[in-house]
Amino acid sequence: MLGFLLGPFLALLPKRWRCSLPLPPSADWRVAFILSGLAEFLAAVAAMLYWYSYSVTTWVSRGLDLALAGKAGPGANEQEIGFMAIFILATHPLTWLIAYFAVEGSLRLVAAAFAESHLGILLLFALDKIFLKTTGQGGPSAAEQGGYKEGNLSSYVGAIREKVRGFLTAGIPDELCVSPEGAEEFLEIRASRRKPDWTPPRTVKYRDTFYRLEDSSMGSAPRPYRYRLRRLSAGVMSRTVLVYTPEQEPVVSKK
């Protein structure tokens, strides 16, 4: 119920304000923030359409009245008056304010849907920061509770980019490249999606063979995630061993 009733309105608040409310710990904030960001974006688009229709019509009408009265200068025509109305619209502060809310709404929507980040609106966040500063409570811990300190913009963009890349490459199987180097054998896995918890030097079990994850790096699309594993002569199964079970049959190649 929170996600469809009060949730979108409470999602406008900074994190510190939300934490101070008597809300159930199981509240689904992700749905609330998606709806809140979508509502802010759609409201800004509707406001921009109304503002465009009202302002351009009004300024063109005034321009034509001035032209008919001979106060717009010699040679003024309808095209010049229309261009001037568009120019005034584009440079008007209200146009930029509405555009800001459209961008903010889309950012909050995408951050909640793809990066699982919960952002309130910047205006209330700024007011909360001013309040904390004026009351002497503006330490680092308080700032982190403001709302936009939940992460930096680069982390949001990176998480969103990774989610989008995962959707676009969902049907691409992994590619396995086996390369012997002297007495050892290495296996390189090229994947279209990042593999959680695959950090060196974890042990990976593929079929009946154990490998040591030596390195992970980024390559080119459509399989940008590269994992280099060294084959082990023996291994013991435990809870820390990663079991590689690809959803689709991987493509096997040899160097």
pLDDT for 166: 60
Q: Are 82 and 60 within 8 A, CB to CB?
A: yes
| pLDDT tens-digit profile, the chain (255 residues) | 444 567 777 777 777 777 776 665 555 677 888 888 899 999 999 999 999 998 888 877 877 666 666 555 555 566 776 777 788 888 889 999 999 999 998 988 888 888 767 777 888 878 878 877 887 665 444 434 444 444 445 555 555 666 666 655 567 899 999 998 888 999 999 998 889 889 999 999 999 999 999 999 988 878 888 999 999 998 888 888 999 999 888 988 866
Distance spanning both ends of the chain, measured CA to CA: 57
Residues in Cβ contact with 229 at an 8 Å cutoff, skipping those fewer than 6 apart: 186, 187, 188, 189, 204, 211, 212, 213, 214
pLDDT for 74: 55
pLDDT for 152: 47
Closest by Cα among 115, 102, 108, 109 to 147: 108
Give the SS3 label for residue 60.
helix
pLDDT for 33: 82
Residue type, 163: K
Within its chain, how far is the Cα of 209 from the centroid? 38
pLDDT for 255: 61
pLDDT for 137: 62
